[in-house]
Amino acid sequence: MYYISLSLGELILKGKNRQSFVHKLRKDISRVLKDESIEEIYQEMGKIYIKTDKDQIQERVKKLKHLFGIVYISPCIRVDKDLDSMKKASVDFVEDYLKDHPSKTFKVESSRADKQFALKSPELNQLFGAAILQNIQGLSVDVHHPDFHLYCDVKKYVYFYIDKIKAYGGLPMGTNGRGLLLLSGGIDSPVAGFLMGKRGVQIDAVHFHSYPFTSPRGEEKVKELARILSTYTGRLTLYSINLLEIQKAINKNCPYDEMTILSRRFMMRIAQKICDDYSYDSMITGENLGQVASQTIHGLTVSQDAVHSLVFRPLIGMDKVDIIKISEEIGTYETSIQPFEDCCTVFLPKHPVLKPTVEQMEKSEGELDVEGLVNEAVKSMKVYHIS
């Protein structure tokens, strides 16, 4: 019988609340496999096993790779603890593997979790190795640098597998509260959302645009980024905010070089109001220290001052090349680099203020109806449900 085994990583380190984490992961498994019937699913000694047909394995592995909380995924076969059945299964499994993976050397690695089983791990390695050598021509054992490993886990049942497909690890979605991601059309913010999702934060997003000064295609681009993120996070709510009236007010009443940082403070305030209204526990931004003028220590201090929620900045110390690498891996990069402008390009000062202070910004904001502008922007927002 074919199964897919999921290795759970740090979930196993949890104490009395471990089962709540596993329960959430099993709900996520049901969600991503919702179009397919799951005949059998169970947990055994640090792994979850899903019974599957052989022709379903590839597609199911592709879907399961997007779930946080899983470290490795391994297609496997399960047999009873009968030596003849175990030897036959080891040979059949290797023969099937060799059809698509021509190899010359192998190594058997057995793990005897059931200590009541008569044979110990070294004896099982010898037993299966000998059976494979006797029945499959052209293979030899190499214990140091084999072309592939045949793994055998002896538990309540016996499992054979070869592939250990790396997944993202982390914690299941929603086990660490809810976060509102400030999602732009750039490279950074989708990666920030992905990384916090990996830590168990349930993600929704807010996007700011300046229509009609910016193209509707910019908003469509952000919807597509949200859709890609939703393949990891599940259904995602996207709040779309037009910032144009706020930018006009800033442009009319405040120093021109403060446009960027004042706009950022308004974005944070609007995000804070959404957090308060819809019970989000945190905000998430793609800010990276020193990357742009508003992301200096002074700029970050001033934008942080505008809100009271916890703000996660998972990219704060990362190199841009590493952020790009993650965006390519998770599938957002090609969408992020599409040349559609967002609100940050409207009224952009040539020389933005680099060392703003809270006192300086509050003085400039004294010329504005801050609360009224925030409330009006939220009142007119559009809400999209993306999956």
Distance, in Å, from the CA atom of 225 to the CA atom of 181, rounded to the nearest integer, reads 12
> Which is it for the CA torsion 196, 199, 201, 204, positive or negative?
positive
235 labeled binding residue:
no
183 labeled binding residue:
yes
End-to-end CA distance of the chain: 33
Residue type, 268: M
68: alpha, beta or left, given left = phi > 0 and alpha = psi -120 to 50? beta
286 labeled binding residue:
yes
Looking up tokens 């496999």 gives 33
Say if residues 167 and 79 touch (Cβ distance below 8 Å): no
Helix %, strand %, coil % of the chain (to 5):
45, 20, 35
170 labeled binding residue:
no
Q: Which segments within the chain are labelled E, that is strand?
A: 2-7, 41-44, 47-51, 70-79, 105-112, 140-141, 148-154, 158-161, 165-169, 178-182, 202-209, 236-242, 282-284, 310-312, 382-386
Cis peptide before 314 (omega within 30 of 0): no
295 labeled binding residue:
yes
208 labeled binding residue:
yes
Q: At what angle do helices 297-304 and 259-278 cross, to 10 degrees?
A: 40
**Both tokens assigned to 49:** 């096993």
Binding-site residue set for ATP: 182-183, 207-208, 264, 286, 295
